[in-house]
A and B are shown apart, each in its own frame.
Chain A
């Protein structure tokens, strides 16, 4: 299985600030995915990050609010901009093993916005 490291594991932030979450994978992957899990909810896909191209955002998510970088095949960042308490969630990055379709997740970044 892929080893996926996320930083920070958790953070407490003030309203109006921005936070960047990093995701590092131990092998090269074509597609990386960013998910949000709000308290008591299941996972919602924010965007798909492909190396060398703009991220593809799901309905309800926009680049201004969640800018994503994908500088190489092992790394991606997600920024949560101009945060509000409604952004308090666990943010997770994931990668797909193309040969099987199996999805692997990082440990998650637990964000609390005051």
Chain B
């Protein structure tokens, strides 16, 4: 059974800093991995999708990497802004889609 872990559960950083969010998974036989952001009480917004054959994907200030062999993905956020404050979730797809529990990010102005 796939298990997806996101550590830390919460993170606070000053505005302008670069930061990395982590996602670990136990079964490396995945089809893809997707990163989402969720604002409080809202739905999920897709940020980046990495296929199993890819090593990274970039969108604006976001860069997601994937290392299947070690069961890890990272989401890099450059030059953080207060609007980046949200919960970030990763989801891993193999036979089923398994979500991590998320990292709650707070950017301090």
Give every chain B residue within 8 A of A102 (Cβ-Cβ).
32, 34, 46, 49
Q: What does the 1/0 interface line of B83-94 toward A look like (CB < 8 Å)?
A: 000000101010
Cα–Cα, bound, A106→B49 (Å): 17
Q: Is the CB of B31 within 8 A of A42?
A: no
Give every chain B residue within 8 A of A100 (Cβ-Cβ).
32, 49, 51
Q: Is B100 an interface residue (CB 8 A)?
A: yes
Q: Is B2 an interface residue (CB 8 A)?
A: no
Q: How many residues of B contact A (CB 8 A)?
A: 21
Q: How many residues of A contact B (CB 8 A)?
A: 21
**A108 partner, pick from B42, B49, B91, B93, beta carbons under 8 A:** B42
B56 to chain A, nearest CB (A): 16
Q: Is the CB of A103 within 8 A of B97?
A: yes
**B41 partner, pick from A41, A101, A108, beta carbons under 8 A:** A108
Given contacts A10-B41, A90-B41, contact A104 B99 (CB under 8 A): no
B47 to chain A, nearest CB (A): 11
Given contacts A101-B49, A103-B34, contact A42 B89 (CB under 8 A): yes
Nearest residue, chain A, Cβ from B91: A103
Q: Is the CB of A107 within 8 A of B42?
A: yes
Most buried by A among B32, B36, B91, B99: B99
Cα–Cα, bound, A37→B78 (Å): 29
Give every chain B residue within 8 A of A42 (Cβ-Cβ).
89, 99-102
**A105 partner, pick from B41, B44, B101, B102, beta carbons under 8 A:** B44
Q: Is the CB of B49 within 8 A of A45?
A: no
**A101 partner, pick from B32, B44, B96, B102, beta carbons under 8 A:** B32
Q: List chain B positions with a Cβ less than 8 A from chain A.
A: 31-32, 34, 36, 41-46, 49, 51, 89, 91, 93, 96-97, 99-102
Q: List chain A positions with a Cβ less than 8 A from chain B.
A: 1, 4, 6, 10, 41-43, 45, 90, 92, 94, 100-108, 110
